[in-house]
């Protein structure tokens, strides 16, 4: 079975051709540049940029793969959650090809595909915990099986990636600020600034990052944006984030232990899983608890169409082919 998939939920336009043996014939990820100077994704600009590039990269993918469009058995696309304009462009494009070729169209949930992404390159044990850290979502999930994913806690305000980007903007970085902040933090002192850790003492698995962002803003306003300041503040922010994530992982493990659920591995998925500092701190903590830490492949960490194809291959196509499926910016995992 050969799948053609599209991802356009935010600011990456991506297409992939993958077969049921996980062979990737082509995978193209185009990261939009138009948002660089805006400090975040501008939905209208994102929609226009998807529209400009989608046909071009689809043609390129078929050329690279040496496959014909008529070789495709199933068409898939992200249908939510995400920005409605971008979602409509990718899903309508893929669905139109499916209709024209009389093949099934499979709608994919973006969050679910991030959560399934580490099962592409790892033999995962179930149940496991999944820490989802993207630009739009932050949550902790109990993955009982590929089909049974339970949300244990999530952010009550900003997502972690978004917080990285907003703090990056305060520090003068281009969007997305996350990767640059990690780079600048390398030379900094991670205990230079004592930052707040919201909800860390609450007995739940929810997160809150907006107060942390405000605290950083107050410090920025009182200081010169010189290199040392930027490096120390970036480093202290990452230290604070790691502390919050580790505390919440601890609470999740305790909660599951009281329910007699044995967890031996934790996956970290989404764009922020690229961050080596955070990964290392969590890994060090988990080592002392004898728990494995698992990541997707590098190409499946940030938004990409390969994880959409992989999600599609994990579905029973007869259950979910739905030519009338509507894009939904707030799509939830069923
Ligand atoms: O999963 P993703 O590609 O898109 C969404 O589904 O939202 O995540 C994008 C987010 C951005 O906020 C970006 O700044 C962040 O991931 N990110 C990072 C790093 N690389 C990407 N954040 C921190 N450190 C990084 N190295
Ligand atoms: Zn994503």
pLDDT digits over 119-136, tens only? 999 999 999 999 999 999
Q: For ligand 1, pick from 80, 161, 162 the residue to mutate: most ligand atoms within 8 Å of CB.
A: 161
pLDDT in tens, 295-319: 999 999 999 999 999 999 999 877 6
Q: Is 168 in the pocket of ligand 1 (CB under 6 A)?
A: no
Q: What is the mean pLDDT of residues 100-106?
A: 95
Model confidence at 208: pLDDT above 60: yes
Model confidence at 264: pLDDT above 60: yes
Q: What angle do CA 10, 15, 16 make, to 5 degrees?
A: 135
Q: For ligand 1, pick from 113, 164, 174 the residue to mutate: most ligand atoms within 8 Å of CB.
A: 164
333 alpha carbon – ligand 1 mean position (Å): 21
Residues with a beta carbon under 5 angstroms from ion ligand 2: 134, 303
216 alpha carbon – ligand 2 mean position (Å): 25
Q: Is 134 in the pocket of ligand 1 (CB under 6 A)?
A: yes
- pLDDT at position 334: 75
Q: Is 90 in the pocket of ligand 1 (CB under 6 A)?
A: no
Confidence bin at 326 (pLDDT 50/70/90): confident
Q: What is the mean pLDDT of residues 236-253?
A: 98
> Do the Cβ atoms of 276 and 139 come closer than 8 Å?
no
Q: Is 272 in the pocket of ligand 1 (CB under 6 A)?
A: yes
Q: Which two tokens stand for residue 65?
A: 């793969």
- pLDDT at position 46: 98
Cis peptide before 33 (omega within 30 of 0): no
**Nearest atom, ligand 1, residue 302 CA:** 3
**Nearest atom, ligand 1, residue 136 CA:** 7
**Nearest atom, ligand 1, residue 114 CA:** 1
pLDDT in tens, 38-49: 989 999 999 999
Share of the chain above pLDDT 90, in %: 94
Q: Is 296 in the pocket of ligand 1 (CB under 6 A)?
A: no
Secondary structure string (H, E, C) spanning the chain: CEEEEEECCCCEEEEEEEECCCCEEEEEEEECCCCHHHCCCCHHHHHHHHHHHHHHHHHHHHHHHCCCHHHCCEEEEEEECCCHHHHHHHHHHHHHHHHHHCCCEEEEEHHHHHHHHHHCCCCCCCCEEEEEECCCCEEEEEEEECCEEEEEEEECCCCHHHHHHHHHHHCCCCCCHHHHHHHHHCCCCCCCCCCCCCCCCCCCCCECCHHHHHHHHHHHHCCCCCHHHHHHHHHHHHHHHHHHHHHHHHHHHHHHHHCCCCCCEEEEECHHHHCHHHHHHHHHHHHCCCCEEECCCHHHCCCCCHHHHHHHHCCCHHHHCCCCCCCCCCCCCC
What is the Cα–Cα distance from 246 to 62, expressed in whole angstroms? Answer: 43
Confidence bin at 320 (pLDDT 50/70/90): low
- pLDDT at position 215: 98
For ligand 1, atom 8, which residue shows the shortest CA distance? 271
- pLDDT at position 327: 82
Report which bound ligand comes closest to the CA of 273. Answer: 1
pLDDT in tens, 48-80: 999 999 999 999 999 999 999 999 999 999 999
Model confidence at 29: pLDDT above 70: yes
331 alpha carbon – ligand 2 mean position (Å): 13
Model confidence at 328: pLDDT above 90: no
Burial label, 288 (beta-carbon count in 10 A; 0-12, 13-18, 19+): exposed
Model confidence at 321: pLDDT above 60: no
* Other Cβ atoms within 10 Å of 302 Cβ, number: 25
115 alpha carbon – ligand 2 mean position (Å): 10
Q: What is the mean pLDDT of residues 249-273?
A: 96
Question: What average pLDDT does the structure give for the chain?
Answer: 96
Q: What is the mean pLDDT of residues 213-236?
A: 98
- pLDDT at position 5: 98
Q: Is 78 in the pocket of ligand 1 (CB under 6 A)?
A: no
């Amino acid at each position: 079975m050969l799948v053609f998939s599209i991802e356009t939920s935010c600011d990456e336009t991506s297409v992939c051709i993958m077969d049921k043996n996980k062979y990737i014939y082509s995978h193209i990820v185009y990261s939009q540049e138009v948002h660089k100077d805006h400090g975040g994704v501008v939905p209208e600009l994102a929609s226009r940029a998807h529209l400009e590039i989608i046909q071009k990269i689809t043609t390129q993918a078929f050329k690279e793969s040496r496959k014909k469009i008529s070789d495709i058995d199933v068409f898939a696309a992200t249908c939510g959650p995400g920005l409605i304009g971008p979602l409509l462009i990718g899903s309508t494009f893929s669905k139109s090809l499916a209709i024209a070729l009389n093949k099934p169209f499979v709608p994919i949930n973006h969050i679910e595909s991030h959560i399934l992404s580490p099962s592409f390159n790892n033999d995962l044990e179930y149940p496991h915990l999944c820490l989802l850290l993207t630009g739009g979502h932050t949550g902790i999930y109990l993955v009982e099986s590929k089909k049974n994913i339970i949300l244990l806690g999530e952010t009550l305000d900003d997502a972690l990636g978004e917080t990285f980007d907003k703090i990056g903007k305060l520090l003068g970085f281009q969007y997305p600020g996350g990767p640059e902040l990690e780079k600048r933090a390398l030379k900094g002192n991670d205990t230079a600034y004592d930052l707040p850790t919201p909800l860390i003492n609450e007995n739940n698995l929810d997160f809150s990052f907006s107060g942390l962002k405000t605290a950083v803003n107050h410090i920025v306003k009182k200081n010169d944006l010189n290199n040392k300041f930027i490096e120390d503040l970036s480093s202290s922010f990452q230290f604070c984030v790691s502390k919050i994530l580790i505390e919440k992982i601890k609470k999740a493990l305790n909660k599951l232990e009281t329910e007699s659920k044995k967890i031996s591995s934790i996956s970290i998925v989404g764009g922020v899983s690229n961050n080596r500092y955070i990964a290392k701190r969590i890994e060090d903590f988990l080592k002392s608890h004898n728990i494995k830490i698992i990541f997707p492949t590098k190409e499946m960490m940030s938004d990409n169409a390969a994880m959409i194809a992989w999600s599609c291959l994990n579905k029973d196509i007869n259950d979910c082919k739905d030519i009338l499926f509507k894009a939904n910016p707030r799509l939830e995992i069923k």
